Structure 1
Amino acid sequence: MAAATLTTGLLTAGTATAEQSGTTAPCRISVGSVTAGGDHRMQTFSATAPVTKVTDKIVAKDVYPDGQTRLSPAVRYGPGEGSELHTGQVVLGSVLYDFSYRTPVGGGTVSQKQLTRVGPGWQNYRSLDRSTVGAKSVEWSLTNDGAELERRTVKTENGRVYRHMDGWASNFRGVKGMALISQTSRYDTFLMTHSTGRLYTARLPRVSGHIIQPVVKPIRMSTWGVFETLVAAPCGQGTIVLGIDRDTGNGYLYSVGHANGLSTVIKGLGKAPGTFKDPVYFSWTKYSDPLLFGE
């Protein structure tokens, strides 16, 4: 597969533990989900072998109507003004919303919930991710058939949020799961799983030109096609990735080093405790976590 052309698909992968990057404590990944009842759930896993579940809790109940959530990118949270603020985006049915709400620190009763309608048409997409570097945010969305991966620039002016589609890349058919693993001022990098079983990185420019020329590199050539959902968190110079097999409800944790094509170091940490059968999964990200990390 040529570096700039996606012909057979992509894949998603993981991270490096803190032990690998020279510190003593293992890294953790906080996996979020929206339950069938519209609750926000958090499961935190330690990147050890065997995998250890540190937290499993309902952060907030009845955030959304039952059974309506289709897509949710990463949710950011952190303490402030004696409570904990949670913000992000969500697709309910066919409509995209920005949302925010507060709970007591650590979760609990929801207050000051705001759900701001952005617009319809999102029944045509099967993924949504947001990348923020400095003051600039972009959103990436993949069409249901994988024919197009679209880039939107997000701007806030006079208290209102504006989105403008300013780029697209073609031929992502066969992609099953994707997760953002690197962001710089010039490009974002995703890991993607593919129906052929292959694992890829796809580097996508954040600026310059409506026709996006992705740089696509294989990471592994087989076995990754079972994962329809990927959740990633940075760790040292790499990434922790949870691959979820929606058919079985099983999740497996991986430590993926610095992306370097087929030479990328990937360590399987094992099966994550519990089952993964909630309708929608995402990554929990603290406001205090660094947003700028590169390859």
Structure 2
Amino acid sequence: MIRKRAAGLVGLALAAGALVQAEPATAAPTEGPGFCQLSLGSTTSEGDLILRTMYGVTPPGASPSRWGGKDLLPDNQLRVASGIGTQTNADQTGESRRQYVVLGSTLNLLTYTVNGFWGEVDPATVKRTAIGGGWGDVRYLESSRFNRGTTLVRQNMYAVLGDTILRWNVVNGTSFAQKTTYAGFSAVKTMTLISQTATYDTFLASTRLGALYTIRIPLTGKPVVKVVRRSTWQGFEALVADGITCGDNTIVVGVDKETGTPYLYEFGHANGTATVIKALGKVPRTFNEVAYSRIFDDNQESAQLFGE
């Protein structure tokens, strides 16, 4: 649905700024535009979800902001959130969504159903399943599912806590097992998932001093860390990446939460300091939300990220 969702928004005015109500779903073109796109979910302090699509053009564009659901979470409880996985309903009339969120100090799985792909959330379906406590100081959270054809190979949860990156195997969404820890990452400010394979996940990570790294975390063995840039990236409290519409490239939005300013970049295939980064510029929006998440197809036939 990433391609359908992104392509369906191309006809909207790129610079429209007002938050608008969701409209009924319409048929999407069979061919998408010739530029990268990022479907972004932004969650407010009141627990409301705002949907936007970032367009990888120069200067960058953005769809109108749309409500993706109100009161999905309790007020002033959200700390961090994972990506938002979507699945088309069996009757093809809407979609279900799932996302991991830390509320206070408790990790939860948030699930709900949407009537129409850009329609209204069915409030009766909103469910928050508590998984466990002790998550209050986590500063990054993400889930990665790798599929081979119609077979789910693995699902892992990642978190950054103190100087440690943690990884779990996830079974049936809420059962975490085989925790692995990797120390030495106290400098990491935030990360974003850019690559998924059967044997490793790769993240793009920024540090408090402004460096940018790739961190490849294999299923066995130690992480492989490579410098991408040595400075200037310290201003972003959030990074969100996607590459499903980009071929070998990756589109990344960096959000400066202190000023509410988002900037868009297009990355070539990650290759240490040789990685090509094209700065597209400031996105014509002001972001004031708590958490920012990639929206992606969460099924066993969806494409995987291939940023490294």
> What TM-score do the two structures reach when normalised by structure 1?
0.85
Aligned mate of 2:226, from 214, 217, 222? 217
CA contact (8 A) 2:242 2:305 kept: no
Most deviating of 185-194 and 107-116: 107-116
| 1:38 counterpart letter in structure 2 | G
Counterparts of residues 1-295 of structure 1 (less than 5 Å): 25-80=34-89, 81=91, 82-105=93-116, 106-111=118-123, 112-134=125-147, 135=152, 136-143=154-161, 145=162, 147-156=163-172, 161-205=174-218, 207-208=219-220, 212-234=221-243, 235-287=246-298, 289-291=302-304, 293=306, 295=308
Please give the secondary structure, in 1, of the residue aligned with 2:74: coil
Q: Measure how far apart 1:123 and its partner are.
A: 0.9
Q: Structure 1 residues 202, 102: closer, same or farther in 2, change over 3 A?
A: same
For residues 228 and 202 of structure 2, the distance between their equivalents in structure 1, rounded to whole angstroms, comes to: 13
Give yes or no for contact 2:249–2:307 (8 Å, CA) kept in 1. Answer: no
2:9 matched to which residue of 1? none
Contact 1:153–1:166, Cα closer than 8 Å, also in 2:
yes
Matched residue SS, 2:234: helix
Q: CA 1:178 to 1:294, structure 2 compared with 1: closer, same or farther past 3 Å? A: closer
1:91 CA displacement: 1.1
Deviations 1:116-172 (A, max 9, x none): 1111111131111111112210111110x2x1111100012xxx7310143111111
Q: Distance in 1 between matches of 2:87 and 2:216?
A: 29
- Supply the RMSD in Å over aligned alpha carbons: 1.7
Amino acid at match of 1:95: T
**Partner of 2:120: helix, strand, or coil?**
coil
Hey, what's the Cα distance between the residues in 2 that align with 1:150 and 1:24? 38
Q: Secondary structure at the match of 2:136?
A: helix
Q: Is the 8 A contact 1:150 1:165 kept in 2?
A: no
What SS is found at the alignment partner of 1:29? Answer: strand
Letter in 2 for 1:110: D
Alignment length, in residue pairs?
264
Report % sequence identity.
Answer: 37
Unaligned 5+ segments in structure 2 are 1-31
Conserved 8 A contact 2:260-2:286: yes
**Residues 37-59 of structure 1: CA distance to partner in whole angstroms, max 9, x if unpaired?**
21111111110001111241111
Shift of 1:294: 6.1
Partners of 1:216 and 1:180 in 2: CA distance? 14
In structure 1, C-alpha distance between the alignment counterparts of 2:52 and 2:284, rounded to whole Å: 10
